Homo-oligomer: A and B are copies of this chain.
Amino acid sequence: MKILNTALHCRKEVEALKKKGKTVGLVPTMGSLHQGHLSLVEAAKKKCHTVFMTIFVNPTQFGPGEDFERYPRDLDRDAALAEKKGVDFLFCPEVGELYREGYSTYVEVEGITDVMCGRYRPGHFRGVATVVLKLFNIIPAHRAFFGEKDYQQLVVIKRMAADLDIDIEITGCPTVREEDGLALSSRNRYLDPRQRENAVEIYRALKKAGEAILGGEEDLKKISRQAIEILEKNPYIKKVDYFDIRDPGSLMELDRPGRGGQVLIAAAAWIGETRLIDNVVISKKK
């Protein structure tokens, strides 16, 4: 595995690979790698000859008071994991390599960034869209791989890629979970054992809501309201930011489930000082 620190080096490697007719897969991450990230590498290796991973804790997607400073960073451990999994190139730039003096350009995806996490983290998806576009320009891969755990992020990136005529296929990969169902997240490290034990309740509430819909419950507002009530009764869950039932393509809120198709159930909740998100997509049979 080759470690790269500059955009210029990345571009040269990609150019050389393309000249040789190799396809390139891109796995953008913020490091602190877990099996979720590694499953993206696996997917990339299946679809592409060469896999680039990026590790960059992107300051522009953190709001004031968020966990940019304390976000876990361990490049040596991450590089070892990436190499073992078969990553070919690891791009881990300094902040100054991506945001130079006088930096002033941002990508806004409107509408779908106003809801869910966008409502609670203003500017977050602007930072995500901006850095992902930059990474796409630095590593013009054939395909890029993102986890479905960050479902809204995936929808935003797909929208951006379609709108801006970006010639990279965006691939979503299933959420990887612990044995009890907790979605893997770098932020799970913030949890103490009791918090960790209770964090899985978010996933349980999502599953339960999904079962209610599949069981024929039509009042989706009621399902959300009840889920929030139950979650907020748990003493380890400080606050539920949202528990939403939406169309998985447009992220439009659903009042009643359609006759068929898919339904997204997504939640964000605070376990102490840790904000966790999770979602499930259920398929209604026609």
Contacts and interface: CB of A to CB of B under 8 A. Distances in A.
A105 B134 contact: no
A134 B104 contact: no
Contacts of A250: 102
Nearest to A111: B104
A71 interface: no
Interface stretch (A43-51, A160-168, A173-181): A160-168
Interface residues on A, range: 20 to 34
Interface centre among A11, A108, A111, A138 (most CB of B within 10 A): A108
A103 B134 CA distance: 20
A105 B160 contact: yes
Interface centre among A11, A110, A160, A165 (most CB of B within 10 A): A165
A170 interface: no
Contacts of A104: 109-112, 159, 163
Contact of A159 (B98, B105, B111, B133): B105
Interface string A86-117: 00000000000010101111111111100000
Interface string A124-141: 000001100110011010
A173 to B, nearest CB: 23
A160 B102 CA distance: 11
> How many copies of this chain sit in the oligomeric assembly?
2
Given A107-B105, A107-B107, A109-B105, A100 B164 contact: no
A110 B103 CA distance: 9
A105 B163 contact: yes
Contact of A105 (B100, B103, B110, B140): B110
A159 B102 CA distance: 9
Contacts of A164: 105, 130, 133-134, 137
Given A130-B164, A134-B163, A134-B165, 10 more contacts: A100-B163, A102-B250, A103-B163, A104-B111, A104-B163, A105-B107, A105-B159, A105-B164, A137-B167, A140-B167
19 contacts: A11-B167, A98-B165, A100-B163, A104-B109, A104-B112, A105-B107, A105-B129, A105-B164, A106-B108, A107-B107, A107-B108, A130-B164, A134-B163, A134-B164, A134-B165, A137-B165, A137-B166, A138-B165, A140-B140
